[in-house]
């Protein structure tokens, strides 16, 4: 069978034998009764890593973000976020559909916006005829911008501004682990600037399912209620949580390898005539590039016919995401194939 190099997403990884063994051996109970020891252990461990009072296991990153926003807001409130934020682009309009909230968009550079850009968007408290500014959301790393890292000084400054205006801070940290290994800044150091954090186990960490939200005990108590109401209460979820626990304990450091693969691929692609890569945005495990030869659709089909699967980013942009189920050598193969297509 022909080897397929699948770079569409870091969510495509399959659980390793060791992870499957941890799942097999998981102690379970009914998590809706809070009686699943493995889920309880995962939540405790995640809260510790993120430096928060409590955490809650949820089925997906989308649910993690949307529960967090729901708990922090009331209908008619406004959340300030970057124009390419996942909560705006890729969560099926849920802020409106599930929480009745509006999003106010900031035009960031490589996914990063500054306090100067946010301040004019904060609505005066006295303006009863306007939406009420309630939350500032930051995505780190930023998916649609190409896995870019928000500098910690900038996060601290935006968070200080949020405090000044009594706004909550939410972190979409689906890939906070990637930011952490790339910078050496701990997840807790990032998380301390936020009231709520959502992070994923099912992306670069390789678990088959699951995300976590973290915050104060009161926040998590409310989140627990919303999760149940939205149908996210799971029963013997320890089988899945065991994979998440395994991922948190074993698969964070190795993300560095994925970053090395992305850098290698990006450099090789940048050297191909007709391919353009914004090298400054290649900071973790995502490579965004454009090419001048074919329409995006035809380019993706041509690659796919030859065993290389790629995805898309913004209009006209092709996305390659590295992960644990592809090797460094396969980056050379992928670049060779693209070079052939470009000739």
Ligand X SMILES: Cc1ncc(COP(=O)(O)O)c(C=O)c1O
Chain residues binding ligand X by CB under 6 A are: 60-62, 65, 86, 139, 143, 172, 174, 200, 202, 211
Given the complex with ligand X, which of 57 and 341 has the nearer CB atom? 57
Given the complex with ligand X, which of 65 and 73 has the nearer CB atom? 65
Given the complex with ligand X, which of 86 and 170 has the nearer CB atom? 86
Residue pair 7/309 in contact by the 8 Å Cβ criterion: yes
Given the complex with ligand X, which of 12 and 342 has the nearer CB atom? 12
Least separation, in Å, of the C-beta of 232 and ligand X? 11
Residue pair 43/234 in contact by the 8 Å Cβ criterion: no
Least separation, in Å, of the C-beta of 76 and ligand X? 24
Least separation, in Å, of the C-beta of 209 and ligand X? 8
Cα separation of 17 and 240, whole Å? 14
Given the complex with ligand X, which of 11 and 16 has the nearer CB atom? 11
Least separation, in Å, of the C-beta of 2 and ligand X? 27
Given the complex with ligand X, which of 59 and 162 has the nearer CB atom? 59
Closest CA to 160 of 126, 124, 193, 201: 193
Give the CB-nearest residue to ligand X.
61
Residue pair 195/72 in contact by the 8 Å Cβ criterion: yes
Least separation, in Å, of the C-beta of 200 and ligand X? 6
Q: Which residue has the tokens 């006209």?
A: 316
Residue pair 71/195 in contact by the 8 Å Cβ criterion: no
Least separation, in Å, of the C-beta of 292 and ligand X? 28
Given the complex with ligand X, which of 65 and 322 has the nearer CB atom? 65
Cα separation of 265 and 282, whole Å? 10
CA distances from 162 to 29, 135, 142, 189 (A): 40, 8, 20, 17
Cis omega before residue 141 (within 30°)? yes
Q: Is the dihedral of CA 257, 262, 268, 271 positive or negative?
A: negative
Closest CA to 195 of 175, 210, 173, 226: 173
Find the helix packing angle between 17-24 and 238-250, rounded to 10°. Answer: 140
Given the complex with ligand X, which of 31 and 137 has the nearer CB atom? 137
Residue pair 100/155 in contact by the 8 Å Cβ criterion: no
Least separation, in Å, of the C-beta of 49 and ligand X? 18
Strand 211-215, strand 196-200: pairing: antiparallel
Cα separation of 148 and 178, whole Å? 10
Least separation, in Å, of the C-beta of 129 and ligand X? 33
Least separation, in Å, of the C-beta of 333 and ligand X? 25
Residue 230 is given by DSSP the state: T
Helix (H) or strand (E) segment spanning residue 305: helix 296-305
Given the complex with ligand X, which of 134 and 175 has the nearer CB atom? 175
Cα separation of 166 and 179, whole Å? 27
User: What's the angle, vertex CA 227, arms to CA 202 and CA 161, rounded to 5?
Assistant: 80
């Amino acid at each position: 069978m022909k080897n397929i190099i699948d770079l569409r997403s870091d969510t495509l990884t399959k659980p390793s034998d060791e992870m499957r063994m941890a799942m097999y051996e998981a102690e379970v109970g009914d998590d809706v009764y809070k009686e699943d020891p493995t889920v309880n252990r995962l939540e405790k461990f995640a809260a510790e890593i993120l430096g928060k009072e409590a955490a809650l296991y949820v089925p997906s990153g989308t649910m993690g973000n949307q529960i967090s926003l729901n708990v922090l807001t009331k209908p008619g409130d406004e959340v300030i976020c970057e124009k390419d934020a996942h909560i705006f682009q890729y969560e099926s309009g849920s802020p409106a559909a599930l929480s009745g909230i509006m999003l106010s968009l900031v035009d960031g550079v490589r996914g990063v916006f500054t306090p100067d850009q946010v301040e004019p968007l904060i609505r005066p408290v006295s303006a009863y005829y306007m939406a009420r500014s309630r939350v500032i959301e930051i995505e780190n790393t930023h998916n649609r911008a190409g896995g870019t890292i928000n500098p910690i000084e900038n996060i601290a400054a935006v968070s200080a501004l949020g405090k000044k205006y009594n706004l909550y801070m939410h972190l979409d940290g689906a890939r906070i682990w990637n930011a952490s290994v790339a910078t050496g800044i701990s997840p807790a150091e990032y998380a301390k600037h936020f009231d709520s954090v959502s992070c994923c186990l099912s992306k670069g960490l390789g678990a088959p399912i699951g995300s976590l939200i973290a915050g104060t005990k009161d926040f998590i108590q409310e989140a627990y209620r919303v999760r149940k109401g939205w149908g996210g209460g799971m029963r013997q979820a320890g089988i899945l949580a065991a994979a998440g626990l395994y991922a948190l304990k074993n698969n964070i450091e190795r993300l560095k390898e994925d970053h090395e693969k992305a850098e290698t691929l990006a450099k090789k692609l940048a050297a191909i005539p007709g391919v353009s890569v914004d090298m400054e945005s290649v900071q973790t495990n995502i490579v965004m590039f454009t090419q001048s030869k074919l329409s995006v659709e035809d380019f993706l089909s041509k690659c796919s016919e030859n065993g290389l699967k790629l995805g898309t980013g913004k209009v006209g942009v092709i996305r390659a995401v590295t992960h644990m189920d592809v090797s460094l050598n396969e980056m050379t193969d992928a670049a060779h194939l693209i070079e052939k297509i470009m000739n």
